[in-house]
Amino acid sequence: MIIVMQLGAPQEQIEAVAETLRARGIEPLILPGEDRCAIGIPASLSSDQRYDLEAMLGAMEGVSKVTQTSHPYKLASREFNREDTVVRVRDVQIGGGTFVVMGGPCSVESMEQFRASAEIVKNSGATILRGGAFKPRTSPYSFQGLAEEGLKIMKQVSDETGLVTISEVMSGDMVPLVAKYIDILQIGARSMQNFPLLIEAGRSGKPVFLKRGPSAPIDEFLLAAEYVLSQGNPNVILCERGIVPLDRTYTRNTLDLAAVPVLKEYTHLPVIVDPSHGTGVARYVAPMAKAAMVAGADGLMIETHPNPKEALSDGSQALTTDKFTKLMDELRSLAGFLGKKMS
CA distance 338 to 130: 26
Closest CA to 316 of 301, 332, 305, 327: 305
Reported as a pLDDT band with limits 50, 70 and 90, residue 237 is very high
Out of 74-88, 174-188, 233-247, 291-305, pick the least confident.
74-88
DSSP symbol at 212:
P
Domain boundaries, the chain: 2-67, 87-342
Q: Class assignment of domain 87-342?
A: alpha beta
- Taking phi over 0 as left and psi of -120 to 50 as alpha, with beta for the rest, 97 belongs to left
- Report how far residue 286's alpha carbon sits from residue 202's, in angstroms, rounded to the nearest whole number: 33
Contact 213, 238 (CB under 8 A): no
pLDDT tens digits for range 32-53: 776 788 888 866 667 677 778 8
CA distance 68 to 18: 17
**pLDDT at res. 310:** 94
The predicted pLDDT at position 147 comes to 93
> Looking at 27-31, 42-46, 250-254, 257-261, which range is the least confident one?
42-46
Answer yes or no: same fold for 2-67 and 87-342: no
CATH of domain 2-67: 3.30.70.260
pLDDT of res. 41: 81
106 Cβ contact partners less than 8 Å away, ≥ 6 residues apart: 131, 132, 135, 303, 305, 311, 313, 314, 315, 317, 318
Nearest to 239 by CA among 199, 286, 188: 188
Which residues, other chains included, contact 174 with Cβ-Cβ below 8 Å and sequence gap of 6+? 134
